[in-house]
């Protein structure tokens, strides 16, 4: 516990000093020592998200500790299974599915282990629609920290290079995760997006200026989010589209929420988004 707490304190301090730099560093993980590096990355993402959510210093450290220890049960899974290039057999998959409970049993024997660490270790593969494992918990039985653990775990896995897959870009990963109905708590997932400053292209978002905007695709991986503001939410009317770069310091504007296109009468959202990207101004008068 002393050693892992020191790691969490180091990561917490680094995030507080330079969150953007540290989040970039975790993209540089190499293929070997994946489980360890994945755990450090999830710890980093959990700390960063907890800070974004306004958690206090003590609670933020517990979020980080939970992230660091979430995959401890994989120590009991053979390396040949963890790094298998092809599809797992049913027996191999069952072996992998045991790792949350195996890790929980290990952590439960450690004195003074925070409840958050036990919770995330045991429940980070549960899903909001009840189809997760190991228990198939319903949404109301999954804690906030376990919901965030699920998001951080999958995000880092998707954006990591493995022997059996290439790394996805952050935007690609989040676009896929957002599309998986019933998997994640969408409020937690969106808060996570805000914490790392990455949003899927094509998403309809609300800005601090009370405008609705279309998230644009970033041509380069490490640029700030670009959105196209096109609608005044208060007046419920189209406005002249304006491209906005979302800065960390809130200098221009900020993304404060996501919206369902149908609730604003954008029934053909894909068509409207395509016209916006083309610069079609006819929609303003519509």
pLDDT at residue 114 above 80? yes
Q: Judge contact between 46 and 149, C-beta under 8 A.
A: yes
pLDDT band at residue 81, thresholds of 50, 70 and 90?
A: confident
**pLDDT mean over 111-129:** 94
Q: Judge contact between 211 and 231, C-beta under 8 A.
A: yes
Q: Judge contact between 169 and 159, C-beta under 8 A.
A: yes
**pLDDT mean over 115-124:** 96
Q: Judge contact between 246 and 213, C-beta under 8 A.
A: no
Q: Judge contact between 70 and 153, C-beta under 8 A.
A: yes
pLDDT for the residue numbered 128: 98
Structure token digits, residue 194: 């805000």
Length of the chain: 286
**Which range has the worst mean pLDDT, 48-57, 97-106, 182-191, 248-257?**
248-257
Instruction: Indicate the domain borders of the chain.
Output: 2-196, 204-285
CATH for 2-196? 1.10.3210.10
In the three-class reduction of DSSP (H, G, I as helix; E, B as strand; rest coil), residue 92 is classed as helix
pLDDT at residue 58 above 60? yes
Give tens-digit pLDDT for 201-251. 999 999 999 999 999 998 665 568 899 999 999 999 999 999 999 876 666
**pLDDT mean over 258-272:** 95
In angstroms, the CA 205 to CA 194 distance is: 11
Q: Judge contact between 261 and 204, C-beta under 8 A.
A: yes
pLDDT for the residue numbered 281: 62
251 vs 61 pLDDT, higher one = 61
Q: In the chain, what is the straight-line distance between the N-terminal and C-terminal CA atoms, in Å?
A: 62
pLDDT at residue 180 above 70? yes
Going along 47-194, which residue ranges are E strands?
none
Sequence-distant (≥ 6) Cβ neighbours of residue 114 within 8 angstroms: 62, 65, 66
Sequence-distant (≥ 6) Cβ neighbours of residue 12 within 8 angstroms: 47, 57, 60, 61, 64
- Strands 226-232 and 211-215 turn out to be antiparallel
Q: Judge contact between 29 and 38, C-beta under 8 A.
A: yes
In the three-class reduction of DSSP (H, G, I as helix; E, B as strand; rest coil), residue 109 is classed as coil
Backbone angles phi, psi at 281, to 5 degrees: -90, 0
pLDDT at residue 87 above 90? no
């Amino acid at each position: 516990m002393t050693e892992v707490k020191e790691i969490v304190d180091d990561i917490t301090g680094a995030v507080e000093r330079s969150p953007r730099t540290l989040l970039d560093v975790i993209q540089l993980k190499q293929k070997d020592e994946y489980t360890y590096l994945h755990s450090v990355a999830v710890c980093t993402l959990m700390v960063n998200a907890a800070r974004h959510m306004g958690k206090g210093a003590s609670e933020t450290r517990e979020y980080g500790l939970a992230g660091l220890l979430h995959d401890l049960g994989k120590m009991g899974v053979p390396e040949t299974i963890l790094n298998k290039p092809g599809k797992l057999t049913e027996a191999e998959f069952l072996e992998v599915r045991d790792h949350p409970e195996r890790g929980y049993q290990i952590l439960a024997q450690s004195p003074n282990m925070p409840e958050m660490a036990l919770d995330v270790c045991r429940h980070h593969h549960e899903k909001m629609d009840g189809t997760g494992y190991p228990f198939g918990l319903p949404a109301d039985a999954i804690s906030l920290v376990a919901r965030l653990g699920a998001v951080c775990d999958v995000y880092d896995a998707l954006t990591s290079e493995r022997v059996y897959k290439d790394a996805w870009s952050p935007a690609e990963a989040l676009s896929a995760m957002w599309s998986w109905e019933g998997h994640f708590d969408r409020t937690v997932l969106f808060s996570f997006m805000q914490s790392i400053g990455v949003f899927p292209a094509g998403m309809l978002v609300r800005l601090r200026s009370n405008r609705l905007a279309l998230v644009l695709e970033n041509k380069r991986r490490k640029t700030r989010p670009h959105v196209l503001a096109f609608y005044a939410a208060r007046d419920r009317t189209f406005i002249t589209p304006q491209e906005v770069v979302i800065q960390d310091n809130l200098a221009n504007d900020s993304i404060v929420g996501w919206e369902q296109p149908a609730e604003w009468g954008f029934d053909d959202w894909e068509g409207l988004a395509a016209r916006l990207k083309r610069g079609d101004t006819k929609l303003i008068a519509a």
